[in-house]
Structure formats: structure tokens, C-alpha cells
Chains A and B, each alone.
Chain A
């Protein structure tokens, strides 16, 4: 009896020891697997972060210098001997408004014919007196659009004639590139964009701090330009994008949220609603360029809406954003615990009251996040806009959503293809920075809203 007990005990201890060994052996393997998995995950995250960092560093490195542009602060003398123009026409007795407009136009044409370049040359000669016999060359220091700026100033205020005004003239795009060192200085003369004289003047004036790098308001205040590249700006594209964003927010968000509420809370579950659900999910995966085709076919060909207009772009982007908003809203509604609905129904709230008093406020952070992510996605979209003509060159800020316009991502695409590569590479990156800032602002707004509404509950 005693011995059996003894053997039993020994057997049991041996069995325990064996089990312990087996577990220990597998333990090493299991820990190794876990370490491997964690290592892989971590390296994936690090790789992703490194790529994002690389992207941002290259964009910032290329784009930030474009926010500072070579400018020449000068004193322009609006010489009455050069600007040969009569008094601005006023309303004569017995004259109709149309007649006045006609004379006004004639006056502006006359004004345009004045030799504005001469004013610029005169101003520059102060710094480069030796260029008196090569004025045409000297003029090329300043970008060609500046003469129209002078004219516009006089049209706006004819009393400027005869006065001296301090002005920052934008240097020519090539001068800007040259001074930023983006042109190979060792290239032979025949391969240089700028003549030897101009290069000499530019370097000289830059050293004397006559040409300086100052913050480029032109980038934000001007529209795109193809004749005066240095003055090309984003004003038109920004306005176009903002109009489209507004349209998307006003259309896609309410319609999407309302459809999601209906589908999630009210619609009966049957084959038809299943079909709708499948279609919405598929719609979210449709390539965006297809929506562009749809927009061109329906809004432009059928409804005869204007080409290149933010209204059409906004409608197309709204269609594209709808599925995103609907899916986000539905999942936000689904995430609200059923206990809240039961509580409200249990004391006799109607279905509508339950949803609007209790479910929707709780789902609001999720809905807002989904909506803003949808909007951010929409303003970054390029492909559908190309198909409705928003890639056209438009040199005006749209006054209404029905005017021709371009959009930020399309402007990036257009600048990327410009021939003056070394100037527009930086300009393009600057536009990317502006677009990214708009998106980051939107996302920050989404996060802020989320936090705010979460705190309330």
C-alpha cells in the first residue's frame, strides 16, 4: 500500500516534470512568434512614418522657397509725359449710360496704349544707370505682367498721374530661378535663358539688396498666368475649390446623413433595400473618373450647365462623396448601444423622437468625422474635374459658382506640366502645401468637433 502510494507519487511528479518541459519548449517558440509579429508590425509602422516624413520633407524643401519670390522695390514715377491721356470721362449733360461706357472704354484703350514699360525702365535705371542704352534688356528683369498692374492702378485712381509711388515689382521668373540657384551657372551662354548682361545685373542687384526675396503675396492674390509666369497665383483655384467644398457640404452632407438615417432606422429590410445597400457600398468603390464622365454626360450635356464651373464640379464631387457619408453615418448610428433606444422607446418616445433626441446626438461625432473626411477627400480629387473642363486655363477669380474656374488639385496638375520646369517645380510644391494645409485644417476641425461633442455627452 505504502509503496504503491510512493510509486504513484513518483509517477505523478515525473509526469508534472515532463509536462513542464513540454510547455517550456513550446513557450520559447510562442514567445519568438510573438516577438516576430510585433517586430514586423513595428517595422511596418516605422516604414510608413519614414515614407510620410520623406514626402513632407521633399514637398516642404521644394515648396517653401516658392513662398518667397524675387521682388524689386522701386519708386515708380507716373510721368504725365509718358502716360498721354485725357481726363477720365465724366457724365456729360444729355448723355446716356451706354454712351458714357463707350467713352470710358476708349479712354481705357488709350491708357493701355501708353508706354508703361518706360515707367518701369525709368525706375530701374536709378539702380542700373549704365543700362541707359539697353532698356529692352533691362526691362526683362521685371515680369511682363507688372505693366498691366501699373495700368490698373491708374484706371482705379487717375490722380496717380504725376505722382511717385513706392512699389514692389515682381522679378521675372527666370531671374527668380537664377538667384535661387536653380539654373546651372556653368552652362555656356547659348544655353542660358538669360543674357550675360541680365545675369550680371541680377547678381549685382541681389548683392546690393535691390532685388530681395520677399513673401509672395502674388501666390495667393493672383490668378494663374501664362504670359507673366512670376505672377501666376492660386487665387482662382482656391476660390474654385472653396465653392466646390461649400457645394459638397451643402449637398452631400445633409442628403447623405438623411439617407443613412432612413436606411438604417426606418427602411424595411427586404430585397430592395438590400440591393440599395449593396449599390451604395459598390458606389464607394467606383473610380472617381467615372463620376466625371457622369457629370459631363448629365450635368453638362443634358442639363446644359456651364463647362468648367464649380457648380458642376461640386455636384460631381457631391455624388462621389455621398456613399462615403452614408456609410460613415450608418456605422455611427449602428454603434449607438440599443439600450439607449430601448430606454427612449420604453417611456413612450416615438421612433422619430428616439432617433432625433437620443441616437443622433450620440452619433454626431462619428457622423461629423465621416462627413469631413468625405469633404476632404472630395477637395483633393482631380480626375473627375478634368472631364468637366476644369483643367481649362482660367485667369479670373470666379465671382459665383457658375463662373469658369479651376481647382487646387487641377492647378497642381497644370503647373506640374508647365515648360518652365525649374520655376514651376517649386510653385507646384507650394500649391501642394496650400492644398495639404486646407486638408489638415479640415481634419483638425473634424477632431475638434469630435472632442467637443464627445465632452458634451
Chain B
């Protein structure tokens, strides 16, 4: 087993997804995901660089969301789901027994496909995470965290007069930015976004995309998207998944102009997917 891993790690050198340049935030080596007996992800090797926006694209069922959920162990909550291989955050194995999943999720935040604010006030939505982790001890500190997070999510001006109103009363786009603010409030190092705009209209989408670009200054962002224009607009690098394989990862401009793999070309030119 150990030998196998060593070998696959050795083999992974110089293959897709392994990066030599820049500072590496997260790495995956031979990451496989099983749902029951079925292998849904076939050994992914990928480096995620610090402060980059990395987009995952690929047809439905290709494993991109599955892989994203491995990065903060949200797959743990799915019955019968098993992850093998090695995934590291700053050189620490996140599937190691000694690692607390709560701490991991505080460091690797997540934004989901459908906006899912808590059925509480806007203030409480943001304040929940910091309170949970003891990041703000006084009310004044908490107020500051809430304000800073909402400003970062570009939502402050829209909601500052109604922080006590329920977060579920906002529009879809505002709700999604509230969820981003909620993730940001915990000051994670990496933010995972699982198709964050698929339930939003074009104007709300534009706002969220702009927000992603701004957030990239402070955070490492991994975004799954179905929308190739979106990947092209927001990401520095793009990874293409197909049928459980990571086919190709490269600078976004390269992927969309001169993909190396035939499957990538077929997908981005709309021949399947």
C-alpha cells in the first residue's frame, strides 16, 4: 500500500496538475473517491497555488464537485463515501487521524451551489462562525467582523440598515454574497465554491464574479463551474475533469486557446458536455 503510494507519487512528477513554480497551498496525490464500490474519482494529482483562482470545469458527473468536497472533507458526511490517497494543506495530511475536521473547515471554507443562509438574521449569519471558533470575544469585535465581512462581500451598503432582518429575506444574489461573507468571516485560507452562480441571474452572477476576483487578493479560491466563460473570466488556472479523471490543468488562457488534450478541446468547443 505504502509502496503503491510512493510509486504513484513518483509517477506523478511532471504529470498534469503538479506544479513546480509558486507557493503551493494544497496538494492532492492519487486522490481517489469511492461511493460504495464504485470509484468516482480515479487518482487525481493536483497542486493548488496560494492566492490563485483555480477553476474546475467538465461535464456533469465528471467528479469535479466530488474532488472539491474532498478538499475540506465534506465528503465525510456522505454515507458510503471513501477517500484514498493523500491530500495536504500546507504540507499537513488533512485525512490524518490527528487532524481535527472542525479546524480544517475553519481553514478551508466553502460556498455552496444553492444559497443556503441560516434562517436567522443577517448579523447572526455572519457572526455564527466567528462566535463558534471564539474569533471575536466582545460584541464590538463581533460587530467589526460582521461589518468587515459584509464589506468584503460587497453587501454592506445593501444591508447595513437591516442587519436584524432574516437572511432568507434577501434576493438570491444577495443571499449568495451573504454566504460568501459568512465563509469569509471565519478568515479561512482557502475558499471552495461549488457552482456558486448556477442559481443566480446574470447581474447577480456578475457581482459574484467581481467579488471572486477581489477576494483572490487575500484568499486561495477553488471554484467549480459549468460556465466556461465564467472560468475564463475569473480564474488564473483551469482544471478540466472528465469521467473521474483530471485530464488537464493549465493557465486559463492556455486551456481555452491551446488545450493539449483532445477531450479538453472537444469540451471547450462544445462538442460534448
- Do they bind each other? yes
Tell me the A residues contacting B by CB distance below 8 Å: 269, 337, 339-350, 353, 357-358, 362, 457
Chain B nearest CB, measured from A266 CB (Å): 12
Collect the chain B residues with CB atoms within 8 Å of residue A345's CB: 74, 77, 105
Q: Which listed residue (A269, A337, A347, A350) contacts B128, Cβ 8 A?
A: A347
Chain B nearest CB, measured from A424 CB (Å): 54
Interface size on B, residues (CB 8 A): 28
| B102 A340 Cβ-Cβ under 8 A | no
Please measure, in the bound complex, the distance between the C-alpha atom of A358 and the C-alpha atom of B186, giving whole angstroms: 18
| A346 B110 Cβ-Cβ under 8 A | yes
Chain B nearest CB, measured from A339 CB (Å): 4
- B residues 88-144 near A (Cβ < 8 Å) are 102-106, 109-112, 114, 116-120, 128-129, 132-133
Chain B nearest CB, measured from A330 CB (Å): 16
| A347 B106 Cβ-Cβ under 8 A | yes
| B183 A347 Cβ-Cβ under 8 A | yes
Closest 6 CB pairs of A and B: A348-B106, A339-B116, A346-B110, A348-B105, A347-B129, A343-B116
| A342 B112 Cβ-Cβ under 8 A | yes
Collect the chain B residues with CB atoms within 8 Å of residue A343's CB: 112, 116-118, 179, 182
Chain A nearest CB, measured from B174 CB (Å): 16
Tell me the B residues contacting A by CB distance below 8 Å: 72, 74, 77, 79, 102-106, 109-112, 114, 116-120, 128-129, 132-133, 179, 182-183, 185-186
Collect the chain B residues with CB atoms within 8 Å of residue A339's CB: 112, 114, 116
Please measure, in the bound complex, the distance between the C-alpha atom of A342 and the C-alpha atom of B115, giving whole angstroms: 11
Collect the chain B residues with CB atoms within 8 Å of residue A346's CB: 72, 74, 105, 109-112, 183
| B112 A353 Cβ-Cβ under 8 A | no
| B74 A342 Cβ-Cβ under 8 A | yes
Collect the chain A residues with CB atoms within 8 Å of residue B103's CB: 348
For the complex with contacts A347-B109, A348-B102, A348-B105, 16 further pairs of A-B residues with Cβ separation under 8 Å are A342-B112, A342-B116, A343-B116, A343-B117, A344-B118, A345-B74, A345-B77, A345-B105, A346-B74, A346-B110, A347-B128, A347-B129, A347-B186, A348-B106, A348-B129, A353-B132
The SS class assigned to the A binding surface is helix
Collect the chain B residues with CB atoms within 8 Å of residue A362's CB: 119
Please measure, in the bound complex, the distance between the C-alpha atom of A347 and the C-alpha atom of B185, giving whole angstroms: 9
Please measure, in the bound complex, the distance between the C-alpha atom of A269 and the C-alpha atom of B120, giving whole angstroms: 32
Collect the chain B residues with CB atoms within 8 Å of residue A347's CB: 105-106, 109-110, 128-129, 132, 182-183, 185-186
Please measure, in the bound complex, the distance between the C-alpha atom of A349 and the C-alpha atom of B129, giving whole angstroms: 8
A338 — nearest CB in chain B belongs to which residue?
B77
Collect the chain B residues with CB atoms within 8 Å of residue A357's CB: 128
| A340 B118 Cβ-Cβ under 8 A | yes
Collect the chain A residues with CB atoms within 8 Å of residue B111's CB: 346
Please measure, in the bound complex, the distance between the C-alpha atom of A457 and the C-alpha atom of B121, giving whole angstroms: 9
Chain B nearest CB, measured from A224 CB (Å): 51
Please measure, in the bound complex, the distance between the C-alpha atom of A349 and the C-alpha atom of B118, giving whole angstroms: 13
Collect the chain B residues with CB atoms within 8 Å of residue A348's CB: 102-106, 109, 129, 132-133, 186
Q: Which listed residue (B102, B118, B129, B182) contacts A358, Cβ 8 A?
A: B118
| B109 A341 Cβ-Cβ under 8 A | no
Please measure, in the bound complex, the distance between the C-alpha atom of A357 and the C-alpha atom of B118, giving whole angstroms: 10
B114 — nearest CB in chain A belongs to which residue?
A339
Q: List 8 A-B contacts (CB under 8 A).
A: A340-B119, A342-B110, A343-B117, A343-B182, A347-B105, A347-B109, A347-B129, A348-B102
Collect the chain B residues with CB atoms within 8 Å of residue A457's CB: 119-120
B182 — nearest CB in chain A belongs to which residue?
A347
